[in-house]
Amino acid sequence: MSEYQYYEFQAIDRPLSQPELEHLRNLSSRAHITSHSFVNTYNWGDFKGRPERLMETCFDAFVYVANWGTHQLMFRVPRQLLDRGRVSEYLCGDSLKAWEKNEFFILEFLFQEEGGGDWVEGEGWMAALLPLRADLQRGDLRCLYLGWLGVVESRELADDDLEPPVPPGLQTLSGSLESLANFLRIDPDLIEVAAEASGSLELAAPSAAELSSWIATLAEPEKDALLLELLTKNDAYFQQRLLKRFEQETSPSNQGNSLSAKRRRVGELLSRAEALSAEKSRREAERRAAEEARRKQDQAAARAKLLNQLAGQEPQLWTKVELLVQNSVPKNYDEAIRLLVDLRDLATRSGQTAGFESRLRNLRQRYQRRSSLLARIDKAGLDRR
């Protein structure tokens, strides 16, 4: 099997500088490089750079896919927009980790399937997963909980380990969260079980009236300082920081209340997910069995209706069979067999099977050199010899 490695980096908050672009060109002459991205596919050889280092210095998002079963996702998020203590509760092992560099957190999600897996192309993953970075910056930690579930799925944790706080909104995952679950190969049943302890997610943005009321509580010197900062500093996160402060000051216990207080153990989540999967399989088997029974019932009813329509036409049907088998035409043979099946079923229903079998033996005797016809009769099970 040929090798496949896909690397994609994205710079979101600022364009790459000329020295950074030159450095990237030195790392790869074949990559597609723009002021905001670096994309390359390797079918032989390896990338010369270190993704972790590039995330620390240049980029805000990274996706890596290899055909031996490795999926890697990294986000760089300003530390001022994340609560270090809350984030750390979800980190564990090598599959979900974070580190700090300068003013940033770098978060890494890793999935590695032993023995490889289905071939997955790398294109498209960045667009599907990138909105999760903005979610993190708004304080939505669902992607971190899913990353923790990925660690659970890989059996890296002990059964007695406790889960981290369950964020709200796991019952209704966004498209990006569903993409992350697929990227990390997380069992949907495990997510469903985990979501049982998740509250509802309030997505409504604060109204102008709410913001106005909060601004009115700020002291005049502080308002002046904030306005000056807005006008003089090139801070891409100013609005997000201010909104985060608004949320903290107007609803200081809102997020804490929305996180599940009850912590379940890893073993409990896994066993309940297995039980849920078994129950779904049982219900699906019952559904298929009921569907098959209905299908057979419908077929039997349709068959009975057809035989009712054909009853009394046996002489004409035998005459048509004789005409059809006179010439060695495959499609005529097929039509003759269909009529013979009808005649057999009519005879069975009326208790005249002996007469049908006698006429069929006579037909076989007269056309004993028609091997194709006789093979069709045998395949249809018409001859009980």
Query: Which one-letter amino acid corresponds to residue 81?
Result: L
Q: So what's the pLDDT on residue 270?
A: 95
Q: So what's the pLDDT on residue 229?
A: 64
Q: Where are the alpha helices (DSSP H) in the chain?
A: 18-27, 51-57, 84-88, 125-129, 131-137, 142-153, 175-183, 188-195, 208-217, 220-232, 238-250, 254-258, 266-310, 314-325, 330-350, 353-366, 371-379
Query: Which one-letter amino acid corresponds to residue 220?
Result: E
Express as a percent the part of the chain with pLDDT over 90. 68
pLDDT at 127 over 80: yes
pLDDT at 240 over 60: yes
pLDDT at 263 over 70: yes
Tell me if residue 262 falls in helix, strand or coil: coil
Q: What is the mean pLDDT of residues 219-244?
A: 68
pLDDT at 230 over 90: no
Span 303-317, pLDDT tens digits: 999 999 999 999 999
Beta-bridge mates of residue 77? 105
Mean pLDDT over the full length of the chain: 88
Q: What is the mean pLDDT of residues 197-203?
A: 78
Q: Which stretch of 100-104, 223-227, 337-341 has the lowest confidence by average pLDDT?
A: 223-227
Q: Which two tokens stand for residue 357?
A: 């079998």
Q: Which two tokens stand for residue 361?
A: 């033996």
Span 147-171, pLDDT tens digits: 999 999 988 999 999 999 999 999 9
Half-sphere exposure of 72 (CA within 13 A, CB side): 20
Entry field: residues in the chain: 385
Q: So what's the pLDDT on residue 254?
A: 45
Closest to 65 in 3D by CA, of 40, 88, 99: 40
Residue in this structure with the two tokens 């890989």, named with its chain if needed? 154
Q: What is the mean pLDDT of residues 240-263?
A: 61
Span 361-376, pLDDT tens digits: 999 999 999 999 999 9
Closest to 75 in 3D by CA, of 166, 147, 4, 171: 147
pLDDT at 243 over 50: yes
Tell me the pairing of strands 104-112 and 61-66. unpaired
Q: So what's the pLDDT on residue 214?
A: 73
pTM: 0.73
